[in-house]
Structure 1
Amino acid sequence: MLIDPRGPRFAAGVTAIVLVLVLVFESGWLALAQAAVFALSALSPRYSPYGLVYRAALAPRLGRPSELEPAQPVRFAQLVGLVFTLVAAVGFLAGQDVLGLVFAGLALVAAFLNAVFGLCLGCEAYLAFRRLTHRPMAARVPAP
């Protein structure tokens, strides 16, 4: 499956805003809600709530992307985000605010880098793993 790379960047921007709110309010419940979004997105980009908003509201106004990217690295990145936000949620809900702050902060850094600079840390980790296991894949392909 190939996807428009602008969708995950939009989702990362929304995620960054949510994670700032998680940090400001030290909210385990909001971190848990973001973890649910990550879980749906890790299943498939089709199920991503933020991706649905992007495809319905923004993509028609932007036109076709110049290139597409494979969905597997993005799905892996969403899985990593799920783990980090679950740890943050458990930390906040268990009264271990430092744990929650650290993991929500790390997730925020990753979301910010993707939203602002297009640097998806989880995607890069996935591609590096593929290279290390001698199963490289193309990161992007021209759009039809």
Structure 2
Amino acid sequence: MQVDPRGPRFGASVTTVVLVVVLVTGSWALLAAQAVVFAIATSLGLRYAPYGLVFKVLVRPRLAPPRELEDEAAPRFAQGVGFAFALLGTVGYATGTTWLGIGATALALAAAFLNAAFGFCLGCEMYPLFRRITAKVRSEGKVPA
């Protein structure tokens, strides 16, 4: 599946705002909602994620066509990483382990901000490494394919 690379960057911008609000308010419910957004993007794909739908309906029609499309796999993996941090942060805030909530949210915020401000997708950069490691483990026969 190919996606307009401006869509994930738009989603990262919205995510940045949401995570800043979470850090300011300490709202585990808002962070849980963001975790759901990440989970949808990871499981169903970027085009069905809430921020992807907003981009598709409200933003993309106002833009020139993209110069090129990119494979969805790396940004989708990045959403999975975001989901893991948002879930961990939600558990931290909800159980009163505030340092865990703040730390996990801050790490997710740093990654979202890098993508939103500079177009650098940290999770996308991790994706090839993850693929190499899992391919190596499979080739060594430790994990069934």
Output aligned runs, 1:48-87, within 5 Å. 48-87=49-88
* TM-score, normalised relative to structure 1: 0.89
1:42 maps to what in 2?
Answer: 42
Q: State the partner residue of 2:142.
A: none
> How many aligned residue pairs are there?
135
Would the alpha carbon gap of residues 29 and 133 (structure 1) be closer, same or farther in structure 2, given more than 3 Å must change?
Answer: closer
For the residues of structure 1 that align with 2:121 and 2:56, how far apart are their CA atoms?
A: 20
Instruction: Please provide the CA RMSD for this pair.
Output: 1.4
Q: Which 5+ residue runs of structure 1 have no aligned equivalent?
A: 136-144
**Which TM-score applies when normalising by structure 2?**
0.89
Partner letter of residue 105 of structure 2?
A: A
Check if 1:28 corresponds to 2:31. Answer: no
Which string of whole-angstrom CA distances, capped at 9 and with x for unpartnered residues, describes residues 89-140 of structure 1?
Answer: 00000001110000000000000000010110111100233356679xxxxx
Q: Give distance in 1, aligned partners of 2:135 and 2:100.
A: 36
In 2, Cα distance between equivalents of 1:134 and 1:89: 32
Q: Which SS does the other structure have where 2:65 is aligned?
A: coil
2:11 is aligned to: 11
- Structure 2: 5+ residue runs without aligned partners? 137-145
In 1, Cα distance between the equivalents of 2:98 and 2:135?
A: 41
Letter of the 2:53 counterpart? L
The reply to whether residue 99 of structure 1 matches residue 130 of structure 2 is no
Aligned residue identity for 2:72: A
1:133–1:34 Cα change, 3 Å: closer
Output the CA distance in 1 between the equivalents of 2:28 and 2:61: 35
Matched residues in 1 for 2:2 and 2:40: separation?
18
Q: Which structure has the larger Rg?
A: 2
Structure 2 counterpart of 1:117, one-letter code: F
